[in-house]
Amino acid sequence: MFLEQFPVDGRTNGWIEVICGSMFSGKTEELIRRIRRAEFANQALILFKPMLDNRYSEKHVVSHKGTSFEAVIVNESKEILSNWTNQKVVAIDEAQFFDPGIISVCNELANKGVRVIVAGLDMDYQGVAFGPMPQLMAISEYVTKVHAICVSCGNLAHYSQRTVQQTEQVLVGAVEKYRPLCRTCYQQK
């Protein structure tokens, strides 16, 4: 009777981990590192990415360094639950692009004993909190903020300066549209 109260793998609680930072800070690289460790430990896992992010691959999450991992592509956060088949690790890249429902999706998964790993930009190109990221950080058990290196002065960077004239909040791109800057260099732009 006592042993029936616990899952076979010994885990009774899920949790949410958030990896955040600017463009080129290594968020996706860190996400892939964590899921590769789970894969090595034979933990069932699934990785999701929004359809909007098709920079490097249609079917994989790919870091700027070229590291990749196969992903399930979804349009809306609710599709994560419909594609989840009891994996113990659920990873989500580019969370800032998801609708506000991503918050309840992550909570529901964690409440079911799942380790949820979320990566995303914490600020947009104007230095404003981006999408659901502030709420995800608030409900998570673990937050890791990673930093890029300022391309102007070499200090730690946590701003993503847009280098093109487009002003919409969501503009998918990489080095052709963004560069990482520290606070001082970002203020001087």
Q: How many residues comprise the chain? A: 189
Average pLDDT in the chain: 86
Residue 176 has pLDDT above 70, yes or no: no
Beta bridge partners of 144: 19
Q: Is 3 exposed, middle or buried (0-12, 13-18, 19+ CB in 10 A)?
A: exposed
- What type of residue is 58? E
Task: Quote the pLDDT of residue 46.
Answer: 97
Quote the percentage of the chain above a pLDDT of 90.
69
For the segment 6-55, what is each residue's pLDDT rounded down to a tens digit?
344 545 689 999 999 998 899 999 999 999 999 999 999 999 999 876 66
Average pLDDT over residues 130-155: 96
Residues serving a catalytic function are 94
Task: Quote the pLDDT of residue 169.
Answer: 59
Task: Quote the pLDDT of residue 2.
Answer: 36
Token duo for residue 169 = 């909040």
Q: What is the Cα–Cα distance from 128 to 64, expressed in whole angstroms? A: 23
For the segment 51-99, what is each residue's pLDDT rounded down to a tens digit?
876 665 568 676 667 676 789 999 999 999 999 999 999 999 999 999 9
For the segment 97-128, what is each residue's pLDDT rounded down to a tens digit?
999 999 999 999 999 999 999 999 999 998 99
Please, are residues 32 and 133 in contact by the beta-carbon 8 Å criterion?
Answer: no
- Of 138, 148, 135, 145, nearest to 186 by C-alpha is 148
Which residue has better confidence, 8 or 151? 151
Residue 189 has pLDDT above 60, yes or no: yes
Q: H-helix or E-strand containing 119?
A: strand 115-121
CATH architecture assigned to 8-147? 3-Layer(aba) Sandwich (3.40)
Task: Quote the pLDDT of residue 7.
Answer: 46
For the chain, domain boundaries: 8-147
Angle (CA) 85-89-92 rounded to 5° is: 95
Average pLDDT over residues 128-145: 97
Torsion sign over Cα 64, 71, 95, 145 = negative
Token duo for residue 59 = 């079917």
- What type of residue is 30? E
* pLDDT band at 164; cut points 50, 70, 90: low
Residue 183 has pLDDT above 60, yes or no: yes
Please, are residues 33 and 75 in contact by the beta-carbon 8 Å criterion?
Answer: no
